Amino acid sequence: MSNGHRQDPDRVRAMFGGIARRYDLLNHLLSVNLDRGWRRAAVQRVPAQSPGPVLDLCGGTGDLAVELIRLGRASEVICCDFSHAMLLLAREKFDRRRILDRCRVLEADALRLPFADSSFDAVTVGFGIRNFSRLESGLREILRVLRPSGCMVVLEFSRPTGPLFSRLYRFYLRRILPRLGDAIGRGRGAYRYLASTISEFPDPPTLAGRIRDSGFAACDWSCMAGGIVAVHVGHKESVTADSKAPEQHQQQGLLGV
């Protein structure tokens, strides 16, 4: 099953590479800085510091990784993304904040992770899952690398349900957002893409169902900002037939930091 429509990974990668330098600025401006609070709220759903690293998938420029460290939810983060340009900026950010020793970057596709089964207690995905070319494959890959009882926290755009707010939001998505993206950062194509993927992405109860159907034992979710964003928390069952000691992380894909 696709995501509503199939995202072409090469196109997605090129698009994020094209807007990487302006990505943080556009995010903060277009969300009137609300994105910082959304990331904080999502990170607070990660259980307090687990001994091993937390995997932040679709980590982009590293904001969720920074929050994981800042809020004490991780002693170490692997910030994974398939856009080289986004990861270079993440690494610069970790360096500026003097957390480079605790945040590593990894260039890899979330649908084919270079990790052994049961490697992580927690996996986070911020505004990334909507871009997966095959949602179920991505979810099953996350489940595979999670340890038994581990959890996945997904922060993703959604749609308001109130009739007036949803009409206003649709208008904002279709008419205003692409123009703003264009005016601020020549990102019209990217923000048109954002608008269309938000419109087509499963609503929170449907996404929770697909997370459970992918093998997670349970999934709860909550909405913020009147339904503009949702946080889903998927739990892996406590003991699985294949729960065995994790092997060493394969790190060939790690950028030289």
Ligand X SMILES: C[S@@+](CC[C@H](N)C(=O)[O-])C[C@H]1O[C@@H](n2cnc3c(N)ncnc32)[C@H](O)[C@@H]1O
Q: Near ligand X by CB under 6 A, which window of 97-105, 126-134, 162-170, 222-230?
A: 126-134
Which stretch, 53-61, 215-223, 230-238, 249-257, contacts ligand X (CB under 6 A)?
A: 53-61
Nearer to ligand X, 86 or 211 (CB): 86
Residue at shortest CB range from ligand X: 60
Site for ligand X in 59-88 (CB under 6 A): 59-60, 63-64, 81-83, 86
Q: What beta strand segments (E) does the chain contain?
A: 54-57, 77-81, 103-107, 120-126, 146-157, 218-224, 229-235
38 binds ligand X (CB under 6 A): no
Residues in contact with ligand X, shown as a per-residue x/- string from 171 to 190 under the rule CB under 6 A: --------------------
CA quadruple 160, 22, 9, 208: dihedral sign? negative
CB of 151 to ligand X, least distance (A): 17
**Contact in structure between 200 and 132 (CB atoms under 8 Å):** no
Instruction: Write down the least CB distance from residue 22 to ligand X, Å.
Output: 13
Residues 6+ apart with CB under 8 A from 158: 198, 201, 203, 204, 223, 227, 228, 229, 230
* 158 lies in the site for ligand X, by CB under 6 A: no
Signed CA dihedral, 243, 249, 250, 254: sign only: positive
| Structural contact between residues 57 and 124, judged by C-beta atoms closer than 8 angstroms | yes
Residue 110 or 230 having the CB closest to ligand X: 110
Sheet containing strand 77-81, edge to edge, reads 103-107, 77-81, 54-57, 120-126, 146-157, 229-235, 218-224
Residue placing its CB nearer to ligand X in the complex, 88 or 217: 88
Whichever of 32 and 245 has its CB closer to ligand X, that residue is: 32
What type of residue is 226? G
Position 120 contacts ligand X (CB under 6 A)? no
Confirm or reject binding of residue 121 to ligand X (CB under 6 A): no
List C-alpha distances in Å: 211 to 63, 89, 96, 159: 24, 31, 36, 18
Q: Which of 19, 99, 105, 110 binds ligand X (CB under 6 A)?
A: 110
Contact by Cβ (8 Å): 130, 157: yes
Minimum Å distance from CB 126 to ligand X? 3
Residue choice 50, 118, 119, 131 for contact with ligand X (CB under 6 A): 131
Binding site for ligand X (CB under 6 A): 9, 12-13, 16, 58-60, 63-64, 81-83, 86, 109-111, 126-128, 131-132
